[in-house]
Amino acid sequence: MADKYFEVNNLNVKYGDIQVLWDINFYAKKGEIIAIVGSNGAGKSTTVKTCAGLVRAESGSIKMEGREIAKGTCRQFIDQGVILIPEGRQLFAGMTVYENLEMGASSPEAKKKKKDTMEQIFTWFPKLKERKNQLAGTLSGGEQQMVAFSRGMMGLPRLLMMDEPSLGLAPNIVDNIFSIAKGIAKESGLTIILVEQDVRKALKIANRGYVVENGQITLEGTAEQLMNDPEVKKAYLGV
Amino acid sequence: MDTFLQAITNGLMVGGIYALIGMSLTIIFGVMKIINFCQGELLMVGMYVSFVLYDQFGLDPFLAIPLVAIIMFAIGALLQSTIINRAMKNTESDDTNVLFLTVGLGILFTNLCLMFFKSDYRTAVSAVSQKNVELGNITVSMPKLISFLILIIMSVLLFLFLKHTTLGKQIRATSQNKTGAQVSGIKTKMVYASTYGLGAALAGITGACLMSYYYVFPTVGAVYGTRSFIVVTLGGLGSIPGAFIGGLVLGLLETIGSVVVGASFKDTVVFLVFILILVTKQLVKSKRG
* Closest Cβ opposite residue A107 in set B172, B176, B185: B185
User: Does residue B10 sit at the A interface (CB-CB below 8 Å)?
Assistant: no
Residue A120 vs residues A104, A123, B9: alpha-carbon distances, Å: 14, 5, 55
Residue A65 vs residues A6, A28, A233, B116: alpha-carbon distances, Å: 6, 10, 34, 57
pTM (2 decimals)?
0.91
- Is the pLDDT assigned to residue B1 strictly greater than 80? no
Q: Which of A18, A75, A145, A164 to mutate to test the interface with B (most CBs of B within 10 A)?
A: A75
Q: Give B148's contacts (C-beta < 8 A, 6+ positions apart).
A: B12, B13, B16
With beta carbons under 8 A apart, name residues in chain B contacting A99. 169, 173
* Closest Cβ opposite residue B172 in set A92, A107, A151: A92
User: Does residue A99 sit at the B interface (CB-CB below 8 Å)?
Assistant: yes
Q: Which residues of chain A, if any, have pLDDT below 70?
A: 1-2
The terminus-to-terminus CA distance of chain A in angstroms comes to 37
Q: What is the pLDDT of residue A40?
A: 86
User: Does residue A98 sit at the B interface (CB-CB below 8 Å)?
Assistant: no
Tens digits of per-residue pLDDT, B27-83? 999 999 888 999 999 999 999 999 999 999 999 999 999 999 999 999 999 999 999
Contact at CB, A86 and B184, closer than 8 angstroms: no
Contact at CB, A103 and B179, closer than 8 angstroms: no
Q: What is the pLDDT of residue B90?
A: 59
Q: What is the pLDDT of residue B93?
A: 52
Question: A27 pairs with which residues across the strands?
Answer: A7
Tens digits of per-residue pLDDT, B204-233? 999 999 999 999 999 999 989 999 999 999
Alpha helices in B33-118 (DSSP H): 39-57, 65-79, 85-89, 96-117
Please give the share of chain B, as a percent, with pLDDT higher than 70.
98
- Output B67 or B263, whichever has higher pLDDT: B67
Contact at CB, B184 and A95, closer than 8 angstroms: no
Q: Give A51's contacts (C-beta < 8 A, 6+ positions apart).
A: A8, A62, A77, A82, A84, A161, A193
- Is the pLDDT assigned to residue B94 strictly greater than 70? no
Q: Which of B183, B188, B192, B240 to mutate to test the interface with A (most CBs of A within 10 A)?
A: B183
Average pLDDT, whole number, for chain B? 92
- Is the pLDDT assigned to residue B25 strictly greater than 50? yes
Nearest to B81 by CA among B5, B188, B9, B227: B188
With beta carbons under 8 A apart, name residues in chain B contacting A78. 183, 185
Contact at CB, B183 and A93, closer than 8 angstroms: no
- Alpha carbons within 13 angstroms on the beta-carbon side of residue B215 total 7
User: Does residue B136 sit at the A interface (CB-CB below 8 Å)?
Assistant: no
Contact at CB, A75 and B181, closer than 8 angstroms: no
Contact at CB, A103 and B184, closer than 8 angstroms: yes
The terminus-to-terminus CA distance of chain B in angstroms comes to 43
Q: What is the pLDDT of residue B86?
A: 87
Contact at CB, B184 and A155, closer than 8 angstroms: yes
User: Does residue A79 sit at the B interface (CB-CB below 8 Å)?
Assistant: yes
The number of angstroms, rounded, from the C-alpha of A10 to the middle of its chain's C-alpha atoms is 20
Tens digits of per-residue pLDDT, A72-125? 999 999 999 999 999 999 999 999 999 999 999 999 999 999 999 999 999 999
Residue type, A168: G
Domains along chain A?
1-81+159-169+191-239 (3.40.50.300)
Show contacts of B135-143: CB within 8 Å, 24+ apart: B135/B9, B137/B2, B137/B5, B137/B6, B138/B2, B138/B5, B138/B6, B138/B9, B139/B6, B140/B9, B140/B10, B140/B13, B141/B13, B141/B213, B143/B62, B143/B209, B143/B212, B143/B213
Question: A193 pairs with which residues across the strands?
Answer: A34, A161
Q: What is the pLDDT of residue B285?
A: 85
Q: What is the pLDDT of residue A1?
A: 47
Contact status, residue B244 vs residue B155, Cβ threshold 8 Å: yes
Tens digits of per-residue pLDDT, B128-157? 888 999 888 899 999 999 999 999 999 999
Contact status, residue B48 vs residue B237, Cβ threshold 8 Å: no
- Output B289 or B58, whichever has higher pLDDT: B58
Tell me the average pLDDT across B223-250: 93
- Grouping H, G, I as helix, E, B as strand and the rest as coil, residue B132 is strand
